[in-house]
Amino acid sequence: MKTLHTLLATLLLLALPSSGSAQEKEINALEIAGLKFAWDSTWKAKAAPSMMSALNLMTVAEEQKEVLEAKFYYFKGGGGGVDANVARWAGMFEGTPEKHEETLADGKVTLYTFKGTFMVGARGTAKVATPDYGMLVAIVKGDNGPVFVRIDGPVMRLDALRDSFKKIVTNPFNQ
């Protein structure tokens, strides 16, 4: 039996345009766990690279040297709870990162901002200490459980994407 993650990833792959198609259609909204997320042209949908994420959005500004991705995660049953996830995210930084918490959409979205020296690298590989890095994480509360949305990258880039990111994660409640 396919998990919800696999089903969503499969549906997204089927919906994404094939390269070179004369009738390419851009995806700018998707429902995850009963919540409808939408985004503007700052972002492009990308098939999720792992079974854990339901969707990835990548930034598309031409002047960007490095593409940043907002990853959407939905875990049936909750995903380990807020405190455990906040501790895990903070643990991705060297030392204690600067942390800010903000409540949006009448308490239905909690946005966490972490800034500091991020330990960049895939799980199980050597990490590289990267200063002036940050992470934006939103916990979006829905009737079917929370959806976690995370993007990390250089602080200046994240600061520039902050308003657009907020619109995406509050969209299910501001339609």
pLDDT in tens, 43-93: 998 876 676 778 889 886 666 677 899 999 888 766 778 889 899 999 999
Nearest to 108 by CA among 3, 33, 28: 33
| Per-residue model confidence (pLDDT) at position 11 | 34
Q: To which H or E segment does residue 35 belong?
A: strand 35-38
User: What is the tally of structural domains in the chain?
Assistant: 1
Query: Which residues span the domain enclosing 93?
Result: 4-173
Confidence class of residue 5 from pLDDT cuts 50, 70 and 90?
A: very low
The pTM (predicted TM-score) of the whole model is 0.81
Helix (H/G/I), strand (E/B), else coil: 109:
strand
* One-letter amino acid of 98: E
Query: pLDDT band for position 128 (50/70/90)?
Result: very high
92: which 2 tokens? Answer: 């991705």
Task: Give the per-residue pLDDT at 124.
Answer: 85
Q: What is the CA radius of gyration of the chain?
A: 16
CATH number for the domain harbouring residue 36: 2.60.120.1690
